[in-house]
Amino acid sequence: MKKIALFIAVLAMSVNMMAQTAGTVKHEVQSGETLSSISRDYGVSVSYLLKINPGMKADYIMAGQRINVPANGASQHNTTQQTTATSQNTTTAQPDRVPATRVVTNVVPSTIQQNNLQQFVNQQANKPANSQPDDKQTAAPAQPRPKYKATHEVQKKETIYAISRQYGISEAELIEANPQLKKNKLKKGEIIYIPFTKEENDKYAEEQRRKREEEEERKRPKVQKYNAVHAAVILPFSLDAEEMTTESQKMANLYQGFLLAVDSLKQHGYSVDIYTYEEKGAGETMEDILSKPMMKNMQLIIGPVRQEHIAAVSKFAHANGITHVVPLSSDGSIVNERPTTYQVNVQTSSIYSQVYNRFIALHRNDNIIFVGMNDKNDNVSYIVNFKKTLDDNNVIYNRVSVNEFDAIKEMIKTGSRNIIVTSSSSASAFDALCKKLATLNLSDATSIQLFGFPEWQTFEAKYDKEFAKYNCQYFTTFYSNGSSQRTIAFNSKFRQWFNQDQFNSYPHYGELGYDIGAFFVKGIFDHGSAFSENIHNIGYNSLEFPFFFEKKNSWSGYENKSMLIVSHTSDGRIVVR
């Protein structure tokens, strides 16, 4: 059988390999050393060290890390010519080598169009990073304010009233500062305390608040911006397989969608360096990939897919302050104690509470009927907790078994919207329910809406008439609306670039790759090292996977808690919200 090779191009949009700069030597960071102390040892500035160590983070170096330093000590700081070796990045475990400007897929590899890719690379232009101060300035410790503003020696015939007027305070404030005055009269020569006025206290409190904010800002790590986002993609492309498998086609689509996102961002001035690795290559292990010098300089790692590899990459990303995106695994433990890991695809059960609350918001005043389908795909725990949430919120509902379906006719109300919640996600159960409803001979004036599961999107095309007739509605964590103009435009561009359509699957992996690229590359480029603090400010409209990341706890990574409600209307429209 003819071998079909999937060559995943390592698109190096102004790829700058981490080659050592001329006139430098390596310095191994010792425990306790900082960039500031190293710069002083070599007689150069922190900004100069950052310049000869592209991608290095000013606020994050580790003991044992090897960095470039000037070979001639302080004199190197005056050197004006810096020569950087530029080289093409290479994929791992590839059976053949291809130019950096090519993406060859399994479909008609000899005739694939390259014009867009070539233009993409040739038009590359880097945006300058924001400049940052070299060193943090240490503020002098604030002197505590005395408890009282002054002391006063009592004169002959002075009264509490007179002294209070003299200092602009009330008699009560003076007595509060000098409790002995409650029982004893003033005596000549007595020393009493004069408190601050209310206005002085308010002014002092405001000054202290401002100083605390300034101190917090001073201590907050400086935001580092990047000339280009360095992104590593680690996926099981199965480059050495005789034929493309279902998995390898999906992984190719994910990568291709990522490239389209990068191209779109490139047109808006974003700069990206992409390093692509084969996850399960025969000649290179995950440890080999992670030990490559340039890996510590990544700002973004996408993948891997294999559960046994995710933990190693997540640990590596955390140790080096790298944003790590897990695109497919729904294992709820992968973000535990890994604060830089982002899980895109979560278990559906983790959003059930959101489903219940959204349902109540949409249908509290409707006539709700639960139908038990007695199907092998019945989601019993989901339905039990669904009903409990409705009970807790005083929402009224009815329930009936499909085996006693005639009883539902008495429950359905004309003039109300009747919401039928089914217990099963299967196509066979959906078909059976629709046929049962047809036997009721309901009038056109009777409003029926079915509420179901994410799996319904896999057969909505087959049952398009039933979906429209019964205004079908379901929840999901992802949805590709094939009738939307953005999706149509994406599919057209996908075919133009790669001479093929996306592999027919749920989700559509090309759109998933696009969403990941557009969200994370844009966010990291815009916000630099402060990406995680701005994940809700990125402002990206998804094609298929909406993103709303939340931490499980203060020491964990982020889970995607976004949820969609997809509604079909009687006139054939699809509303996603």
pLDDT tens string 528-545: 999 999 999 998 899 999
Whether residue 170 contacts residue 160, with contact meaning beta carbons closer than 8 Å, is answered with no
* Shared domain check, 415 and 398: yes
> How far, rounded to the nearest angstrom, does the alpha carbon of residue 567 sit from its chain's CA centroid?
26
Indicate whether 18 pLDDT > 70.
no
Tell me the sheet residues that pair with 125.
none
* Shared domain check, 379 and 336: no
| Separation between Cα atoms, residue 33 and residue 69, nearest integer Å | 14
* Shared domain check, 183 and 158: yes
Q: Could you tell me the CA-to-CA distances from 481 to 460, 515, 564 in Å, in that order?
A: 12, 14, 12
* Shared domain check, 367 and 272: no
pLDDT digits (tens, 9 = 90+) for 72-129: 664 343 333 332 222 233 333 332 222 232 232 222 222 223 334 333 333 332 333 3
Mean pLDDT for the stretch of residues 397-420: 94
* Shared domain check, 515 and 503: yes
Indicate whether 521 pLDDT > 50.
yes
Amino acid 75: pLDDT: 39
Closest-CA residue to 34 (of 62, 4, 66): 62
Q: For the chain, how big is the Rg over CA atoms in Å?
A: 33
Which of the four pLDDT bands, split at 50, 70 and 90, describes residue 140? Answer: low
In a domain, 449, yes or no: yes
* Shared domain check, 175 and 254: no
Q: Domain span at residue 110? A: 1-16+85-126+227-345+486-560
Amino acid 114: pLDDT: 33
- Comparing 165-169, 222-226, 510-514, 554-558, the range with the smallest average pLDDT is 222-226
Mean pLDDT for the stretch of residues 349-356: 94
What is the three-class DSSP state of 566? Answer: strand
Amino acid at 94: Q
* Shared domain check, 341 and 287: yes
* Domains held by the chain: number: 4
CATH number, residue 293: 3.40.50.2300
Whether residue 513 contacts residue 258, with contact meaning beta carbons closer than 8 Å, is answered with yes
Last residue of a domain, one of 457, 476, 495: 476
* Shared domain check, 100 and 241: yes
Find all residues with CB under 8 Å of 569, minimum gap 6, and list them. Answer: 468, 471, 575
Last residue of a domain, one of 476, 497, 512: 476
Please report the beta strands in 88-190, taking only residues with DSSP state E, as ranges in sequence order.
150-153
Which of the four pLDDT bands, split at 50, 70 and 90, describes residue 478? Answer: very high
In a domain, 142, yes or no: no
Peptide bond into 304 cis (omega under 30): yes
Find all residues with CB under 8 Å of 400, minimum gap 6, and list them. Answer: 369, 370, 371, 372, 407, 408, 411
Handedness of CA 522, 525, 526, 532 (dihedral sign): positive
In a domain, 135, yes or no: no
Higher-pLDDT residue of 297 and 70 is: 297
Amino acid 72: pLDDT: 67
In a domain, 71, yes or no: yes
* Shared domain check, 466 and 365: yes
Please report the beta strands in 143-258, taking only residues with DSSP state E, as ranges in sequence order.
150-153, 191-194, 229-235
Nearest 10 degrees: Cα torsion 357, 362, 365, 368:
-80
| Separation between Cα atoms, residue 79 and residue 213, nearest integer Å | 40
* Shared domain check, 334 and 234: yes
Angle of helix 485-498 versus helix 246-266 axis, rounded to 10: 110
pLDDT digits (tens, 9 = 90+) for 196-207: 999 999 999 999
Indicate whether 43 pLDDT > 50.
yes
Question: What does the mean pLDDT of the chain come to?
Answer: 83
Indicate whether 20 pLDDT > 50.
no
